[in-house]
Chains A and B, each alone.
Chain A
Amino acid sequence: ASGGYPKRVKVVEVGPRDGLQNEKNVVPTPVKINLINMLSETGLPVIEATSFVSPKWVPQMADHTEVMQGINKLPGISYPVLTPNLKGFQAAVAAGAKEVSIFGAASEMFTKKNINCSIEESLERFDEVMRAAREANIPVRGYVSCVLGCPYEGKISAAKVAEVSKKMYSMGCYEISLGDTIGVGTPGSMKEMLTVVMKEVPVGALAVHCHDTYGQALANILLALQMGVSVVDASVAGLGGCPYAQGASGNVATEDLVYMLNGLGIHTGVDLQKLMDTGTFICNALNRRTNSKVSQASCRL
């Protein structure tokens, strides 16, 4: 077998934000708060709570202030929120946020379509956030989208991913989460991309955010772990479909990830049963079936 595995992996739970933002049904604020509170009891160290973006663009996250102020913040758990610009950052901090995230992309066309500017311009916008965050001692996590493929450009060069990652890391992001936004990556392209990125950003500052749209997520994550990555994003119950492939799945399910890590003897601190219970809760609230195979398998009818 190739390579050893990290002894511990930090699982970053993105269900309440990335997951719910990409679900058809919108859940009321109390349900969001309960979801996050339940996740806080599972042992997950990081739970992405919401997004401080204008409700005009993302109505599902319109209640960001209420959610941020309503959740139980357990000691030892981080509750990062998305802040696309300075205004969002200020609103987040006012609402009690202690960690924020910014979203870049390795594709010009994706950036243009998504936030109507070039990659360079988006990084300039983030610079304002970085400066304010530095002053307020708020850690910033950087996301890079389309690292293994773009819905508009198709193939994405590993060099471009490394370039954008390096810029965001140099700007002060403590961690860079590399996102296979449309799930087209395979262990082959994951390996190639990470090899190049790891020349510019230390592996300890890297995370992978894999989508399961083509069923490749766990295999891609396995490869990333073999290369030394020890931070993995996932979404409870696999919440969050793919906005670029109607009806297709998106985020990898946290339950399925934790099941695999348990089998590898890798420590996560997460209680799988409590996680499954949380998945059951939110799926009932959303009136949908879980995307987690572990959850499906464990239901004996």
Chain B
Amino acid sequence: QEPQASGLPEYIKIVEVGPRDGLQNEKVIVPTDIKIELINQLSKTGLPAIEVTSFVSSKWVPQMADHKEVMKGIERHPGVQYPVLTPNLQGFHSAIAAGATEVSVFGAASESFSKMNINCSIEESIEKFGEVTKSARNMNIPVRGYVSCALGCPYEGNVVPDKVAEVSKRLYSMGCYEISLGDTIGVGTPGSMKKMLEAVMKEIPLSALAVHCHDTYGQALANILTAIQMGVAVVDSSVAGLGGCPYAKGATGNVATEDVIYMLNGLGINTGVNLYAVMEAGNFICTALNKKTNSKVAQASFSTGTIN
């Protein structure tokens, strides 16, 4: 199966967000050494980028209170990026002091979401991020930009593709090397994914785009397929599908890395990632969290005792 013949990218970069986005949205908080062990295991799977932690006040995000210890405690494998979230300049400085070499900032395509989440307008948040990107540029630190609510908002409902394009463009012009478009509540479908990407691709080069799909409505893999058919070559996912949806109690959130890799393998697309190793890391963290995996591939493989 030749991916180029079908118009698909030859290689897709998987950005593993389990240790940050995943663990931040799990009910159970794991101790620092478990976090470090998880990241170390993930570093051995071939994943090229692993989002490690968030330099945000522990008052707001207690699950990430140990950000310094985690950053300093993990093994840093050559060729693997370890980005961290930095919502403002203070967080950025703290991250750099702890050894971070890449950071991420989080914008949103919805005013209501921005207000409810970080208590300021989109414009104000972009100004704050501007301070981060300026300092980052001076220190040669790459910055990744996230745009939340790209396919729908828990407060506003429908989100206009042009708004997503506008916010993405602001972040990109500020110096973000990559924009990760997040379907925060998982309501997107291949239909809305296509419309949104068409609008954003008018403003941002394809190579700078990533998709961050949630599987809350079971649509994640279909949405990711649509995105990669349009040429997107960076996909965010979370080992074992860690991280529920804070807006729909009991529902799932992040798409499982194992399930994404299974699909990409089947399409003949190279990711550099060892699926079995990811399943082992998933098994480790689920045991530590005392929960069942959200990955269907892991469930099926465990049940049959074989990897297909």
Residues of A within 8 A of B (CB): 1-2, 149, 182-189, 191-192, 212-216, 218-219, 221-223, 242, 244-249, 253, 256, 259-260, 262-265, 292-294, 296-301
Contact = CB atoms under 8 A, between A and B. Distances in A.
B85 to A, nearest CB: 25
Contacts of B251: 293, 296-297, 299
Contact of B217 (A223, A249, A256): A256
B76 interface: no
B190 A294 contact: no
Contacts of B303: 242, 245-248
Contact of B295 (A149, A189, A215, A292): A215
B221 A215 contact: yes
A110 to B, nearest CB: 15
A213 B296 contact: yes
Contact of B226 (A1, A259, A265): A1
Interface residues of B, number: 44
A186 B217 contact: no
21 contacts: A2-B6, A186-B265, A186-B267, A188-B267, A212-B296, A216-B262, A219-B221, A242-B303, A245-B303, A246-B303, A247-B303, A248-B296, A248-B299, A256-B217, A263-B189, A263-B190, A263-B191, A264-B190, A296-B251, A297-B248, A300-B249
Given A1-B226, A293-B252, 9 more contacts: A1-B229, A186-B263, A215-B296, A216-B221, A245-B304, A246-B303, A256-B219, A296-B250, A296-B252
Interface string B1-17: 10000110000000000
Nearest to A289: B250
B107 interface: no
B91 interface: no
B21 interface: no
A263 B188 contact: yes
A249 B296 contact: yes
Contact of A245 (B1, B215, B256, B300): B300
Given A187-B263, A214-B259, A293 B216 contact: yes
Contact of A219 (B189, B191, B263): B263
Given A189-B266, A214-B296, A256-B217, A219 B252 contact: no
B71 interface: no
